[in-house]
């Protein structure tokens, strides 16, 4: 009997508490949606006044209309409160955006507390939870953007560190964090995986030496990669999609290659298999360690010549048809710097370091792909000025590639193996973003390479030695001696006359590059 009374009182108390919570959620919603509520209350007020001054039977009809207006104004709040009471979750995707935004605001204090961002303070009626204010909430297709202001005593890093937890709390598949001034952070949560379908690349059209279109960012916007003034290292385990990055850059620069504004130097030590598909794009293509060293030496000769020419006149190289941008594209760099004989390794590392330290301003850039990012494999790792982290094997590798503390912000070791071409990048403002390169099928690479073939080609095979040449003079032959340069038989229709008519000579001993 006693137990029964106790149970009835308990249920009654729970009902009261439930009603109080419902009323609080509703009132909070009314406060947050106050412009909407105020509008409908004003309309309801006018309707009530009209009902009061009208005689019967119009009065009853006008009162009914007033209740309908009140229902329209306050009803959504009741729906939101009911949904929150029943599920504890934000309003589902099919709800209007403003409704979802309000649900997110309602839930924010508890999410912030769970993620370690809120603190308790002494209020007038006891302890209250103080969460970092949400300055803005925006909902778009598959995206939820929050602008979070820091509390006194917090830094932007405090919020950034908690973002993975906030993303998980909202069931987001990805996130982007960007500073929005000294006291706020923009957090974008991806509620749908917009990178699930990487898409196929489109034939390149624009002549560019600055940035190339590569694919999409995780918020669905286009991803462009800066090429000018950067040495780019692409790191990813086998099958992570380094090929998409390689061809995205090579084919993105293809119109400029055809126009004579860019020279591509290819190094493919995996027996030249990758590079052969788009061979016409390259001024020279190396497939052996010896040829690779030769490519690097020739590029350094250009670097020397350009340095002399620019001394005292310009600080940064501007690509022209007479003096194009030189980009060395290396597939599997480690074969040159680690998996070869000691002499080639040392020479390769030395030449690479020379280009990486001096080439940026002089218009000689390196784009290198590698599977293993360890320092023993890539001694010059720290000299690359931007890194694309495709799928990696461990947190330690992410730290090696992107830096200390980046494994939480750019978890490249968690990239889905079923989505090759996906990578984490660090933007210029220090924020991280997930991107996916578009896929380049062989036919498109072939068609692009044929359409924008390099106006000139360099032969890397050793120059023939005359039979009657004395042995001593053979030994003295400089490794930088210019070799025969073959003109491409079929210059592309798009290439300007100056670019295709003459063949550039590779300079010797600091001589100028002649177009």
Ligand X SMILES: Nc1ncnc2c1ncn2[C@@H]1O[C@H](COP(=O)(O)OP(=O)(O)OP(=O)(O)O)[C@@H](O)[C@H]1O
Q: Which residues are annotated as a binding site for ATP?
A: 236-243
Which of 256, 162, 163 has the alpha carbon at shortest distance from 208?
Answer: 256
Q: With respect to ligand X, which residue has the nearer C-beta, 213 or 324? A: 213
Please say whether the dihedral angle defined by the alpha carbons of residues 217, 222, 225 and 228, taken in this order, is positive or negative: negative
List C-alpha distances in Å: 186 to 92, 218, 434.
23, 15, 16
Please say whether the dihedral angle defined by the alpha carbons of residues 440, 277, 391 and 336, taken in this order, is positive or negative: negative
How many chain residues bind ligand X (CB under 6 A)? Answer: 15
With CB under 6 A as the contact rule, which of the stretches 165-173, 231-239, 293-301, 356-364 interacts with ligand X?
A: 231-239
CA geometry: angle 90, 95, 96, nearest 5 deg: 115
Determine the Cα–Cα distance for residues 415 and 261; give it in Å rounded to an integer: 36
CB of residue 258 to ligand X, shortest distance in Å: 24
With CB under 6 A as the contact rule, which of the stretches 7-15, 121-129, 235-243, 504-512 interacts with ligand X?
A: 235-243
Quick check: 235 and 244 in contact, CB under 8 A?
no
What lies within 8 Å, CB to CB, of 314 at 6+ separation is none
Quick check: 453 and 425 in contact, CB under 8 A?
no
CB of residue 439 to ligand X, shortest distance in Å: 4
CB of residue 242 to ligand X, shortest distance in Å: 4
Element spanning 380, H or E: none
Does position 439 interact with ligand X (CB under 6 A)? The reply is yes
The residue written with tokens 């709390």 in the block is: 169
Q: Which of 209, 240, 340, 387 binds ligand X (CB under 6 A)?
A: 240
Does position 352 interact with ligand X (CB under 6 A)? The reply is no
With CB under 6 A as the contact rule, which of the stretches 25-33, 65-73, 237-245, 490-498 interacts with ligand X?
A: 237-245
Does position 96 interact with ligand X (CB under 6 A)? The reply is no
Binding mask 180-199 for ligand X (x = CB under 6 A): ------------------x-
Q: Which of 132, 142, 241, 289 binds ligand X (CB under 6 A)?
A: 241
Does position 492 interact with ligand X (CB under 6 A)? The reply is no
Does position 236 interact with ligand X (CB under 6 A)? The reply is yes
With CB under 6 A as the contact rule, which of the stretches 30-38, 240-248, 280-288, 460-468 interacts with ligand X?
A: 240-248
Structure tokens at 414: 């968690």
Does position 344 interact with ligand X (CB under 6 A)? The reply is no
Structure tokens at 42: 């004003």
Which of 199, 213, 296 has the alpha carbon at shortest distance from 253?
Answer: 213
Which of 250, 289, 247, 249 has the alpha carbon at shortest distance from 267?
Answer: 289
Q: Restricting to residues 196-225, which ones interact with ligand X according to CB under 6 A?
A: 198
Structure tokens at 199: 């898409």
With CB under 6 A as the contact rule, which of the stretches 35-43, 98-106, 177-185, 242-250 interacts with ligand X?
A: 242-250
Structure tokens at 438: 């578009």
Does position 373 interact with ligand X (CB under 6 A)? The reply is no
Does position 336 interact with ligand X (CB under 6 A)? The reply is no
Q: Which residue is nearest to ligand X (CB)?
A: 421
Quick check: 401 and 378 in contact, CB under 8 A?
no
* Residues engaged in binding ligand X (CB under 6 A): 198, 236, 238-244, 371, 420-421, 437-439
């Amino acid at each position: 009997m006693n137990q029964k009374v106790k149970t009835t009182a308990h249920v009654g108390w729970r009902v009261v508490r439930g009603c109080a919570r419902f009323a609080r959620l509703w009132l909070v919603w009314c406060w947050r949606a106050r412009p909407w509520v105020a509008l409908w209350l004003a309309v309801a007020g006018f309707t009530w006044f009209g009902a009061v001054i009208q005689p019967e039977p119009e009065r009853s009809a006008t009162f009914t209309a007033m209740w309908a207006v009140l229902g329209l104004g306050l009803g959504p709040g009741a729906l939101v409160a009911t949904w929150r009471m029943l599920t504890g979750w934000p309003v589902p995707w099919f709800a209007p955006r403003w409704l979802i935004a309000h649900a997110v605001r309602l839930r924010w204090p508890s999410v912030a507390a769970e993620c370690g961002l809120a603190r308790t303070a002494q209020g007038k009626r006891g302890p209250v939870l103080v969460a970092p204010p949400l300055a803005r909430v925006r909902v778009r297709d598959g995206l939820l953007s929050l602008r979070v202001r820091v509390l006194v005593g917090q830094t932007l890093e405090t919020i950034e560190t908690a973002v993975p937890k906030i993303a998980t709390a909202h069931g987001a598949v990805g996130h982007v964090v960007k500073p929005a001034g000294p006291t706020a952070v923009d957090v974008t949560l991806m509620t749908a995986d917009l990178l699930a379908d990487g898409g196929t690349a489109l034939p390149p059209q624009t002549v560019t030496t600055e940035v190339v279109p590569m694919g999409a960012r995780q918020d669905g916007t286009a991803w462009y990669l800066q090429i000018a003034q950067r040495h780019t290292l692409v790191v990813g385990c086998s099958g992570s999609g380094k090929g998409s990055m390689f061809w995205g850059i090579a084919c993105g620069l293809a119109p400029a290659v055809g126009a004579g504004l860019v020279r591509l130097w290819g190094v493919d030590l995996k027996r030249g298999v990758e590079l052969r598909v788009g061979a016409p794009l390259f001024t020279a293509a190396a497939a052996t360690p010896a040829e690779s060293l030769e490519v690097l030496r020739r590029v350094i000769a250009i670097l020397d010549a350009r340095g002399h020419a620019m001394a005292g006149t310009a600080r940064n190289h501007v690509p022209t048809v007479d003096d194009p941008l030189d980009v060395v594209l290396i597939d599997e760099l480690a074969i040159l710097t680690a998996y070869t004989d000691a002499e080639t390794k040392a020479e390769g590392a030395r030449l690479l370091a020379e280009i990486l330290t001096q080439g940026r301003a002089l218009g000689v850039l390196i784009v290198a792909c590698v599977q293993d990012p360890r320092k023993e494999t890539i001694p010059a790792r720290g000299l690359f000025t931007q890194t694309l982290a495709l799928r990696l094997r461990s947190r330690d590798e992410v730290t090696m590639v992107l830096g200390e503390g980046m494994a939480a912000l750019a978890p490249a070791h968690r990239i889905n193996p079923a989505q090759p071409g996906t990578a984490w990048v660090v933007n210029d403002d220090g924020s991280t973003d997930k991107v996916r390169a578009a896929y380049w099928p062989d036919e498109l690479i072939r068609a692009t390479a044929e359409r924008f073939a390099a106006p000139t080609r360099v032969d890397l095979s050793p120059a023939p030695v005359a039979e009657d040449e004395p042995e001593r003079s053979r030994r003295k032959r400089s490794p930088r001696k210019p070799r025969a340069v073959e003109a491409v038989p079929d210059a592309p229709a798009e290439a300007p006359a100056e670019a295709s008519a003459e063949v550039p000579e590779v300079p010797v001993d600091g001589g100028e590059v002649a177009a």
